């Protein structure tokens, strides 16, 4: 076994690093702290704006213990509110998504009515007390930002800068036409694991060969349990090797992430040849989303906790509008591939979660290929401190 010395430009870890403690994955106190300091303080991706484009379209979401909803006004403004009535706190919006029939939001309990801007329009009492003023009871707003067709919200009173939530190690997606795309398919899954288990698994490929045989066939470098050429301690010896096992990228003949490896006829014309050839890029905004870019479509994967040991992921496949209109468009050739990979990851993550409950698991240890897991742990620790 070779001892790593931190050879120049090698990306991996060269010393042994402890993971977060086992309790971080199931303890209520940890979870509450993470909700308050991570999920209720920073910006969170919720959905692509094309799923909420029509006037009076709405969607509701659960973030930890918090219900919120978004609604598009008739003038195109998108607003977000806490899903809680100012009368006695009932949920207002019960459906996951839809289109309001009128220009008001009515509470299902005692029928208070609010405008799409959150103002209280009417109560249902026979008389209101002289000191009751409707202006004192608007819906509690949530900060909303639309960035390149992506809807982000922040539950903090004073939101930080949205761009500060974009991971500095992300790939650049400036040339991908994110804002012009449309959602072609959405898939949701509840995973029985802590939200951090999802991100740790996303951040390493040490698990790839046995968990994802089909993906390793498409992206040969993953067979070597690494995700990029510099994760190999001997990378400099292979730097001019054109073999995809060393340089990265897709297997010879494959064009994109799909069941048969083919790309859609309408590829993204704005990409450089190098970007087309990469096979996949990842843009990350912790703690809520990664956006994968391929030469012909994009995919968002949103991550929200619904309990200390339960996480919901929602995946959107984004395509050019003309692609969705093609009569020969084979959606499943694309979606089935990623669903298979994500199901494989979910199964592994659930095994990981169960084992971390062991009385003897006080913490684990990171290996050289897990440098991005370390970066993620550093971010969690820094955000909680
Ligand atoms: S709780 Fe909404 S109207 Fe009473
Ligand atoms: Fe995986």
Q: What CATH number does residue 245 fall under?
A: 3.90.380.10
Same domain, 368 and 321: yes
Question: 164 in helix, strand or coil?
Answer: helix
Report the C-alpha gap between 294 and 327 in whole angstroms: 22
Instruction: Indicate whether 175 and 250 sit together in one domain.
Output: yes
Q: How far is the CA of 81 from the centre of ligand 2 (A)?
A: 35
Last-in-domain residue among 101, 130, 159: 159
CB of 88 closer than 6 A to ligand 1?
yes
Confidence of residue 168 (pLDDT cuts 50, 70, 90): confident
Count of H-run helices and E-run strands, the chain: 9, 17
Q: Which domain holds residue 30?
A: 12-42+167-385
Instruction: Check residue 50 and give its pLDDT.
Output: 96
Which residue, of 115, 133, 159, is where some domain finishes? Answer: 159
Listed in order, strand segments (DSSP E) in 165-297 are 182-191, 281-285, 289-293
Asked if residues 314 and 302 have their Cβ atoms less than 8 Å apart, the reply is yes
Structure tokens at 340: 């298979």
User: Residue 1: which pLDDT band, with cuts at 50, 70 and 90?
Assistant: low
Shared domain check, 194 and 70:
no
- Is the CB of 85 within 6 Å of ligand 1? yes
Q: How far is CA 264 from the centre of its chain?
A: 24
Pocket test for ligand 1, best of 109, 120, 124 (most atoms within 8 A of CB): 109
Tell me what percent of the residues of the chain surpass a pLDDT of 90.
92
112 ligand 1 Cβ < 6 A: yes
Q: Which residues contact 152 (CB under 8 A, 6 or more apart)?
A: 43, 44, 45, 46, 144, 145, 146, 162, 165, 285
Flag whether 2 is in a domain: no
Specify the length of the chain in residues.
385
What is the structure's pLDDT at 9?
A: 82
d(CA 153, CA 158): 12
Q: What value does the mean pLDDT take over residues 189-209?
A: 98
200 CA distance to ligand 2 middle (Å): 10
Neighbours of ion ligand 2 (CB under 5 A): 345
Residues 135, 268 within the same domain: no
Could you say which ligand is closest to the alpha carbon of residue 197?
2
Which of 85, 92, 104, 123 maximizes ligand 1 atoms within 8 Å of its Cβ, making it the mutation to test the pocket?
85
Residue 219 sits in the same domain as residue 233: yes
- Confidence tier at 5 by pLDDT (50, 70, 90): low
Nearest protein CA to atom 3 of ligand 1, as residue: 110
Q: Are residues 37 and 47 in the same domain?
A: no
Residue 124 CA, closest ligand 1 atom number:
3
Q: Does residue 109 have its Cβ closer than 6 Å to ligand 1? A: yes
Query: Same domain, yes or no, for 263 and 152?
Result: no
Structure confidence at residue 10 (pLDDT)? 87
Q: Is the pTM of this model over 0.85?
A: yes
Do 335 and 374 lie in a common domain?
yes
Ligand 1 within 6 A of CB of 90: yes
The alpha-helical segments, DSSP class H, found in the chain are 28-34, 195-202, 208-211, 213-218, 244-247, 273-277, 321-325, 331-355, 371-384
125 ligand 1 Cβ < 6 A: no
Q: Is residue 143 part of a domain?
A: yes
Residue 17: the pLDDT is: 96
Contacts of 378 (CB under 8 A, 6+ apart): none
67: domain CATH number? 2.102.10.10
Per the prediction, the chain carries an average pLDDT of: 96
Minimal-distance CA residue to ligand 1 atom 4: 110
């Amino acid at each position: 076994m070779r001892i790593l010395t931190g050879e120049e430009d090698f990306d991996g870890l060269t010393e042994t690093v402890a993971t977060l403690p086992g309790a971080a994955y199931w303890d209520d106190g940890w979870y509450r702290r993470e909700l308050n300091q991570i999920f209720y303080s920073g910006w969170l991706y919720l959905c692509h704006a094309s799923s909420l484009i029509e006037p009076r379209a709405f969607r509701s979401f659960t973030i930890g213990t918090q219900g919120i909803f978004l609604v598009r006004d008739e003038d195109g403004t998108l607003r977000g509110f806490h899903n809680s009535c100012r009368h006695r706190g009932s949920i207002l919006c019960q459906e996951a998504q839809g289109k309001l029939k009128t220009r008001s939001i009515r509470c299902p309990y005692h029928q208070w009515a609010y405008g799409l801007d959150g103002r209280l329009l009417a109560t249902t009492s026979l008389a209101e007390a002289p000191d009751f003023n409707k202006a004192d009871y608007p819906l509690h707003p949530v900060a909303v930002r639309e960035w390149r067709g992506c809807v982000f919200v922040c539950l903090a009173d004073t939101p930080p800068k949205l761009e500060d939530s974009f991971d500095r190690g992300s790939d650049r997606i400036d040339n991908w036409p994110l804002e012009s795309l449309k959602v072609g398919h959405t898939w949701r899954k509840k995973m029985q694991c802590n939200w951090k288990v999802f991100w740790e698994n996303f951040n390493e490929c040490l698990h790839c060969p046995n968990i994802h045989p089909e993906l390793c066939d498409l992206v040969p470098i993953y067979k070597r349990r690494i995700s990029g050429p510099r994760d190999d301690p001997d990378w400099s010896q292979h730097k001019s090797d054109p073999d995809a096992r060393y340089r990265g990228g897709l297997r010879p003949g494959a064009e994109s992430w799909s069941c048969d490896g083919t790309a859609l006829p309408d590829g993204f014309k704005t990409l450089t040849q190098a970007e087309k050839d990469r096979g996949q890029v990842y843009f990350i905004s912790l703690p809520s989303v990664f956006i994968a870019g391929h030469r012909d479509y994009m995919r968002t994967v949103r991550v929200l906790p619904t309990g200390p040991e339960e996480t919901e992921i929602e995946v959107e496949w984004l395509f050019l509008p003309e692609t969705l209109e093609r009569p020969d468009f084979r959606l499943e050739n694309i979606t089935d591939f990623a669903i298979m990979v994500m199901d494989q990851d979910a199964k592994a993550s659930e095994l990981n979660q169960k084992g971390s409950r062991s009385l003897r698991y006080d913490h684990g240890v990171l290996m050289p290929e897990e440098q991005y897991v370390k970066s993620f742990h550093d971010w969690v620790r820094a955000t909680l401190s």
